[in-house]
Amino acid sequence: MQLHSDHLRTLAAVLDEGSFDAAARALSVTPSAVSQRIKALEQQLGRVLLVRSKPIRATASGELVMRLARQFDQLEHETLATLGVESGAQSPVTVPLAVNADSLGTWILPALAELSRTENVRFDLYREDQAHTVALLEAGTVMAAVTSAAEPVPGCTVRPLGAMQYRPMASPGFAASWFPQGVSLAALAEAPVVNFDRRDDLQHGYLAARFRRRGQGADAGAVPRPPSHFVPSSADFAAAVELGLGWGMLPPLQVEQRVASGALVDLDPSGGVDIPLYWQQWRLASGLLSRVADAVEAAARAALLPA
């Protein structure tokens, strides 16, 4: 059995673009051609590769083939570059990456921008919580990820990047209103909190640590769940805390100027949370992917705390 490169590229385009019509536009072919290629690939493998939803998503088998499509595209690009066939007119290779919002909002984009000036590459960034980026890596959606998972995904390598520090912060007015005598367990049980989304457990983790430290809340069920706001943007999350919507865990790397100006205050100088971050990428003989990893690692070591 031999898989056709056009079929692999078409599968990747459908999943990247979310529909047959959008994939056809990206590939400069007709929607009928896209449909025929996907049908031929599924018939050849004897597996359904796509769930025809909106947007289209991969089945478990489709995820495996998608990963092969990504690897094929990357290796083809590397081979042509090595042979000197690559030219400025050639389409750039796409490198999909999964990155957590706070890394996107602070240290990683300058490194990728610098790399894009020297490499014929297009970055396709997926924003996801650091605890969940490995799922995109396993599915073949991305080739590398910033993650809090130290255990390598099968078929991947892992590098430590350092730790991102978070501190419980609030506006001065919010702190004076809810914590006039300083942070207490009673106040923490009632004070509104800002969460990034429903997967964000940083604030709850801080609460759990505080309650365990005082001999209360030994189990997760005993930790209070104060009123919560959800603000799913790194910049807007910090703005919401500064405006007094609630307190939240913020990286000093992002808000050091606001702290220096007095717009934000640290509620608990001993209450920082350090989240170790790692770079996981496919175990692929790719010079480009290695250069991306080197650039990301250098930027992380300059910005993050030592692991």
| List of residues 6+ apart from 93 with CB closer than 8 A | 73, 74, 77, 120, 121, 122, 288
Residue-wise pLDDT for 137-147, tens only, equals 888 888 899 99
Residue 97's pLDDT is: 95
What is the pLDDT confidence band of residue 218, given thresholds at 50, 70 and 90?
very low
Region of poorest pLDDT, from 9-18, 74-83, 200-209:
74-83
CB-CB contact of 132 with 199 (8 Å): yes
Q: 165-273 maps to which CATH number?
A: 3.40.190.10
Region of poorest pLDDT, from 62-76, 77-91, 151-165, 195-209:
77-91
Check pLDDT > 60 for residue 151: yes
Which tokens in the block code for residue 71?
């690897």
Region of poorest pLDDT, from 39-48, 166-175, 204-213, 222-231:
204-213
pTM of the model: 0.78
What is the pLDDT confidence band of residue 92, given thresholds at 50, 70 and 90?
confident
Is the model more confident about 270 or about 258? 258
Which tokens in the block code for residue 60?
């478990």
What is the pLDDT confidence band of residue 165, given thresholds at 50, 70 and 90?
very high
Candidates 32, 28, 35; CA nearest to 14 is 35
Check pLDDT > 50 for residue 190: yes
**Where do the domains of the chain lie?**
1-65, 165-273
CB-CB contact of 107 with 303 (8 Å): yes
Candidates 138, 154, 137, 155; CA nearest to 146 is 137
| List of residues 6+ apart from 95 with CB closer than 8 A | 74, 121, 122, 123, 124, 143, 144, 288, 289, 292
What is the pLDDT confidence band of residue 248, given thresholds at 50, 70 and 90?
very high
Check pLDDT > 80 for residue 217: no
Give the class (CATH, top level) of 1-65.
mainly alpha
Rounded CA-CA distance 57/53 in Å is 7
For tokens 């031999």, the residue is 2
Residue 115's pLDDT is: 94
Check pLDDT > 90 for residue 84: no
Check pLDDT > 90 for residue 259: yes
Residue-wise pLDDT for 98-133, tens only, equals 999 999 999 999 999 999 998 888 899 999 998 889
Check pLDDT > 50 for residue 220: no
Which tokens in the block code for residue 142?
């991305």
Rounded CA-CA distance 277/267 in Å is 24
Check pLDDT > 80 for residue 272: yes
Question: Average pLDDT, stretch 228-236?
Answer: 95
